[in-house]
Structure 1
Amino acid sequence: MDLYEYQAKELFGRHGIPIPAGRVAATPQEARAIAAELGAPVVIKAQVKTGGRGKAGGIRTAPGPAAAEDEAGHVIGMDIKGHTAHRVLVETATVPFEEYYAAFLVDRAEGGFLAMVSAQGGMEIEELAATDPDAIVRVQIDPETGVDAETARQLAAKAGLPEAAAQVLERLWRVMVAEDAVLVEVNPLICTTDQRIVALDGKVTLDGNAAYRHSWEYAEPADSLEDRARAKGLNYVKLDGRVGVIGNGAGLVMSTLDVVAGAGAAPANFLDIGGGASAQVMADGLEIILADPDVRSVLVNVFGGITACDAVANGIVTALELLGERGLGRPIVVRLDGNNAEAGRRILSEARHPAVRQVPTMDGAAETAARLAAGA
């Protein structure tokens, strides 16, 4: 269960981790009132469960209440990677002197916990890991002993963080254990000009299996693509690429993602319609993918078994009929093979939809989708 930033920070505050003063607002008028109460320049931060808010314009500064209302009006309702910002966090603007990274997570491969700490924060940890992996200190945490004051001091020292950060690391571990989290992350954890350590951002994922031990009230409206897909019973994961992918069976979808990457493009999602998908399931899947503004082309890769290719083809035709003009903007590359493949190809050929392109091979379909996503 992923939390919004403001929810993560509420947990941080409960466990004594310093955070900027602020509150969440659902309207521009509420944002203005909060900024007036804070009496200082503020930051307006879109509350969505995805990264890339800053690059998308979802984090904005405001010198006063009127500007806060104006900026909140721009951010509320914004779509960021398929997530709609229904709320903003309005908090006191805090200028960092230095930025760090700190996280605790469940390490399933080792059957324990992993600490990740770096003196280089403020950037995506995946980018840092790729460009300078030695900048991240990784330490296995014994579940029996956990992180006490001495362990926290060692972590801070090894990563090059100031001694004052050790107390925050110890308290982040307390959040991990007390709240049954599988991930607790702060990026950036900052040192201010007056040497205070503050959690400027926060990401927490709770273990839903432990809900019976807590009084969590984190239910949210189904506003993300993942939520909408889940409501339709689809196995969907949003990714950061431009080629939407639909397949039947997790193995085939994973292989398709690899082939798309090999063709020089990045997949925009993982979507498995399952082994016995109906035309309606196919239509639902295509509707979800075409709702993603990042998608520039779609690759439907189906090997008919329990799922017959004619049902898939009917689903594509049905979805495009329902979408109308919304289904015209992006090309859909279809590769059908296996059970009733000829019938499925015939259905698509007879439909003559201008968005649909049929390619007989998996590699060829991936290359075509990649080229179309690049605008070639």
Structure 2
Amino acid sequence: MARFLEYQGKEWLAKAGMPVPKGRPASTPEEAREAAEWIGGPVAVKGQVQAGGRGKAGIVKLVNTPDEAAAAAAEILSKTVKGLPVRKVLVEEKLDIKKEFYCSFVVNGAKEARSPMLMFSVEGGMDIESVPEDKLLKINVDPINGLQTYDAVDLAAKAGIAPEELTKFAKFLTKLSQTYKKYDCMTLEINPFVMTGNGNLICADCKMEIDNSSVGRHPEFGFDIARDLPGEPTELDYIGWSIEETDARGTGFLMNMGYDEVSPGYVGYHPIGGGSAMMGLDALNQVGLKPANYADTSGNPVASKIYRVAKSVLSQPNIDGYLLGGFMMANQEQWHHAHAIVKVLREILPTQKPGLPCVLLLCGNREDESLEILKTGLADLMTSDGPGKRIEIYGKEYVTDTKFIGERLLALSKDYRAEKEAQGK
């Protein structure tokens, strides 16, 4: 899912007519000082990362003056939370909080529902897992018409909202339901939304995640990559997304796994399909190797798309091998993979990565022809002193033998590293 940071989500909530605190993002202490001066009073300075537990991580601070806001921002911007550097802070007005509440709209994938679901609780401001079950109310929402006022009133009443406040809560929740649908959200969580001392309801926090498939309908969001990522996009992530974005023929997925380029034991990982990917990871884990990336070329992609993915995988620096993991009897035409891999290896191995271990497991539809394409197309590279001397090709006889495939790649990788060390590389 494509995710917003809190300040981005609040900007879109405000455009949809939802009440949010007065505030704006800052990338430097000086910008934080200016934001606090613009707000004109005590403020909250909140680190912006895609991670929970920000309060416990020390990146949310309440301050009284612009100078204190600048100092707080300087401290927060120097931190890393769960491996994610804090690049921005949100400086916003300190709210006069009378009571905190929880609500979220998510997708209920149960077969009897398959619809949005509203979760609501009078116990807000804590992890949803910590809310007592009897305090968390749930209701499925009509995906076409959204949350109806009478359902919102009924839900709020069951939660214990005072009768004189029911209309206010119903308006807030139905408006949020409309926003959820308008923006094609997968998740829209407000934890907490608060009642202030003067009785207003305000979104004090925001977690917004958009359905990847809908990002094309929302150019206004400005997403570079329409997918969920564990951190900031890398160069490989941008390359992988460009392959998906420009060619819809089958799957050609590619993303970074955060590997350390200076450490040994990472291999370029190229599975074919989801089940195959899990088996390939098992092959690597059994022998202590690690994937430098994740990829997938399934759904019968054309050779040109497979070529782009494979070349990106093989072009990663300092990898100790390449695994084409076809651990499934695929029903797609496997000769597309064979043609693509031959072209890539003939381009990469002779000049860029001579001797790189390449274990190629390919089976399924047109398997015999595909293996012959590999063997014939790479034969002159696979001589004892050729750039492809560590290429090994396997078919269906090893489709479930993850241990064997892993051990072969490990043995070849050790030999490759030893050769590079002897050459002083």
Alignment TM-score > 0.5, same fold: yes
Mapped partners of 1:126, 1:34: distance in 2: 34
- Following superposition of structure 1 onto structure 2, how do residues 286-365 of structure 1 map, counting pairs within 5 Å? 305-306=325-326, 310-311=357-358, 337-339=403-405, 341-342=407-408, 344-345=410-411, 347-348=413-414, 351=417
Aligned residues: 305
Q: Which residue of 2 aligns with 1:230?
A: 237
Q: Which residue of 1 aligns with 2:191?
A: 187
Match of 2:174 among 156, 167, 170: 170
The one-letter amino acid paired with 2:238 is A
Q: Which residue of 1 aligns with 2:44?
A: 43
The answer as to whether partners of 1:311 and 1:344 remain within 8 angstroms in 2 is no
Larger radius of gyration: 2
Matched, 1:5 2:12: no
CA shift, 1:189, in A, is 1.1
Matched residue SS, 2:54: coil
Matched residue SS, 1:201: coil
Q: Out of 206-215 and 179-188, give the one that drifted further.
A: 206-215
The answer as to whether partners of 1:310 and 1:341 remain within 8 angstroms in 2 is no
Mapped partners of 2:317, 2:78: distance in 1: 24
Matched, 1:149 2:161: no
Mapped partners of 2:214, 2:312: distance in 1: 35
Mapped partners of 1:86, 1:223: distance in 2: 16
TM-score computed with the length of structure 2 as normaliser: 0.59
Mapped partners of 1:204, 1:237: distance in 2: 24
- CA spacing shift, 1:28–1:106, aligned 2, 3 Å: same
Mapped partners of 1:340, 1:137: distance in 2: 48
Mapped partners of 2:174, 2:314: distance in 1: 48
Q: List per-residue Cα deviations over 1:310-336 (Å, max 9, x = no partner).
A: 448xxxxxxxxxxxxxxxxxxxxxxx7
Q: Which residue of 2 aligns with 1:200?
A: 204
Mapped partners of 1:8, 1:285: distance in 2: 36
Mapped partners of 1:141, 1:286: distance in 2: 50
Q: Which residue of 1 aligns with 2:372?
A: none
The answer as to whether partners of 2:117 and 2:138 remain within 8 angstroms in 1 is yes
Mapped partners of 2:120, 2:100: distance in 1: 11
Mapped partners of 1:69, 1:235: distance in 2: 36
The answer as to whether partners of 1:22 and 1:90 remain within 8 angstroms in 2 is yes
Q: Which residue of 2 aligns with 1:293?
A: none
Matched residue SS, 2:45: strand
Q: Which residue of 2 aligns with 1:93?
A: 94
Q: Which residue of 1 aligns with 2:123?
A: 120
The answer as to whether partners of 2:102 and 2:191 remain within 8 angstroms in 1 is yes
Q: List per-residue Cα deviations over 1:49-68 (Å, max 9, x = no partner).
A: 23222222221122110010
Q: Which residue of 2 aligns with 1:319?
A: none
Matched residue SS, 1:18: coil
CA shift, 1:115, in A, is 0.9
The one-letter amino acid paired with 2:107 is V
Q: Which runs of 5+ in 1 are unaligned?
A: 239-244, 259-268, 288-301, 313-335, 353-376
- CA spacing shift, 1:349–1:157, aligned 2, 3 Å: farther
Sequence identity (%): 29
Q: Which runs of 5+ in 2 are unaligned?
A: 241-253, 259-265, 283-290, 298-305, 328-355, 360-401, 419-425
* Cα-Cα RMSD: 4.3
The one-letter amino acid paired with 1:96 is I
CA shift, 1:151, in A, is 2.0
Mapped partners of 2:59, 2:120: distance in 1: 26
